[in-house]
Structure 1
Amino acid sequence: SLPLDLQPGEHKNIELGNTGTTVTGSVVATGRGDVSLNKNWSLNYLIRRDGGISLPEDFPKLSFDPSGPVQTSWARDPHYASWLRSRHYYFLKLTPEGRFQISGVPPGKYDLILRLFEEPAGCLVDAVGTKVIPVTVTVADIKAKNKDLGSIDVACRVGPRVGESMYAYKFTDTTGVEHSIYEMKGRYILMHVWASWCAPCLKNMPDIQVTADQLSEKPLTFVGLNVDQYPEDAKRLVEKNKWNWAQNYLGDHSDMARQLAISSIPVYYLIGPDGKLAATANEWTDMKATLKKTFKQKE
């Protein structure tokens, strides 16, 4: 212990945990053109390769080999978070611009895991950009009191923006027939992305049903895009609640979801009769207002 009996006018400098170095750097999202990305919305860890505690014998079987270098795909394992807690790791909070600083990092070999997301409105689904950087902290870094990783480029996906063509996308209707957006020229299409485990998604489903019924005579097609890992869970929910609009079960790692750069759910896409994206929203109330405005103008 260190007594701190300071008197008026006195000061004392105290260094706590002065056994490591400070790791710094800056993350840059690439591949998005002029579409910015707030790096604050990210999940990032510096994970030490050795040390930690041994997993108990009854620990669930992992889908990855934890003895190797960390991979971003490991995060898909349902027991990844529990495994991570058994390791020596640091959580990185990026500034909106992407800068970070980790203090007190001792010598050793690490993996820096970067996972960047769009600003979420509900439940996180998939990162728009990921990267793993091997990091070695040396005794020299400790003496220098800083290890700067410099600028780290992370290739990031960007979803469709208002005004862009959506003709490349396809969906299946309630009878099981596949349609392209091109085939649906002249109609509006509302695609909404959801999952059975997403509370904000399920909260809006009854009102989506009401709205679909109210606009059933309009040139509008509702299409659900489900991203459950196990589609049967979602199918049972649809049948139980008698949601009668088209549902497409994409799974939790589909090409379509990646093309849309779905980062969090729910998310709504309104495609116009010209096949171009007319509006997007993360809140159902916002999309509902857009629908009312759109079809009120046609009455």
Structure 2
Amino acid sequence: VAYFHKNVSDQKLVAKFDNICRQWEGLKAGNPSPSFNAPDINGKMVSLSSLKGKYVYIDVWATWCGPCRGELPYMTKLEEQYAGKDIHFVSLSCDSNKSAWEKRVQKGDMKGIQLHLGTNSDFMQKYIINGIPRFILLDREGKIVKADAPRPSDPQTTKLFDELLKK
């Protein structure tokens, strides 16, 4: 940051840089998470605040995303492994084509809480999500544990969950 400020004199660039830095600061562990309010497959609105009391593992994904689809079997395994434990598994679809998301969810093989966020998401902007899949882990009070959590396929994920669930 100091190097940037020392070497860049264009005030518009400095302002943009400082804004991005403030955004990243807001995503530090322990800070309250940006919120969301999105419909499930039945149209029921689900908000982040309604999930308080358990850890929340969020998968931001889309049906057209190959790496996202590649993580789905691992997500299912995690959900089965931690069924009945103190953790919600939430999949937030950023599909612009809601019917593609509905069709995928209606297959019935996806567990957890399935929500359609769409493309114009304040939640995604606040988390500076420029690529998917993106995984986010929140504590029982909705505070950030990891703004860029490991993927379900990463063995570190179960280690992280086991450590947190001991608390």
TM over 0.5: yes
* 8 Å Cα contact 1:224-1:246 kept in structure 2: yes
Shift of 1:249: 1.1
Amino acid at match of 2:143: K
Structure 2: tracts of 5 or more residues without a match = 1-9
Structure 1: tracts of 5 or more residues without a match = 1-25, 37-157
Q: Determine the C-alpha separation between the residues in 2 that align with 1:162 and 1:284.
A: 18
Shift of 1:236: 1.2
Which structure would you say has the larger RCO, counting Cα contacts within 8 Å and 6 or more residues apart? 2
Q: Determine the C-alpha separation between the residues in 2 that align with 1:167 and 1:255.
A: 8
Query: 1:247 aligned to 114, 127, 141, which one?
Result: 114
Q: 1:219 — aligned with what?
A: 86
Q: 1:32 — aligned with what?
A: 20
Q: Determine the C-alpha separation between the residues in 2 that align with 1:180 and 1:241.
A: 22
**More helix by proportion, 1 or 2?**
2
Q: Determine the C-alpha separation between the residues in 2 that align with 1:174 and 1:278.
A: 28
Deviation sequence 1:60-103 (CA, Å, 0-9, x none): xxxxxxxxxxxxxxxxxxxxxxxxxxxxxxxxxxxxxxxxxxxx
Q: 2:143 — aligned with what?
A: 276
The total of aligned residue pairs comes to: 153
DSSP 3-state at the match of 1:207 = helix
Q: Determine the C-alpha separation between the residues in 2 that align with 1:34 and 1:254.
A: 19
DSSP 3-state at the match of 1:33 = helix
Query: 2:29 aligned to 162, 165, 169, which one?
Result: 162
Show the 5 A alignment for 1:58-207.
Answer: 160-166=27-33, 168-172=35-39, 177-207=44-74
* 8 Å Cα contact 1:226-1:234 kept in structure 2: yes
* 8 Å Cα contact 1:174-1:245 kept in structure 2: no
Q: 1:237 — aligned with what?
A: 104
Residue identity over aligned pairs, in percent, reads 25
Task: Decide whether aligned partners of structure 1 residues 259 and 280 sit closer, same or farther in structure 2, where only a CA change above 3 A counts.
Answer: closer
Q: 1:298 — aligned with what?
A: 166
Q: 1:261 — aligned with what?
A: 128
Q: Determine the C-alpha separation between the residues in 2 that align with 1:181 and 1:271.
A: 10
Deviation sequence 1:120-172 (CA, Å, 0-9, x none): xxxxxxxxxxxxxxxxxxxxxxxxxxxxxxxxxxxxxx873322102643355
Q: Determine the C-alpha separation between the residues in 2 that align with 1:211 and 1:248.
A: 18
Q: 1:46 — aligned with what?
A: none
Task: Decide whether aligned partners of structure 1 residues 193 and 200 sit closer, same or farther in structure 2, where only a CA change above 3 A counts.
Answer: same
Task: Decide whether aligned partners of structure 1 residues 195 and 176 sit closer, same or farther in structure 2, where only a CA change above 3 A counts.
Answer: same
Shift of 1:183: 3.7
Q: Determine the C-alpha separation between the residues in 2 that align with 1:277 and 1:291.
A: 18
**More strand by proportion, 1 or 2?**
1
Deviation sequence 1:169-211 (CA, Å, 0-9, x none): 3355676543433343321011111011111110010110111
How well do the aligned residues superpose, as a CA RMSD in angstroms? 3.0
The higher radius of gyration belongs to 1
Shift of 1:242: 1.7
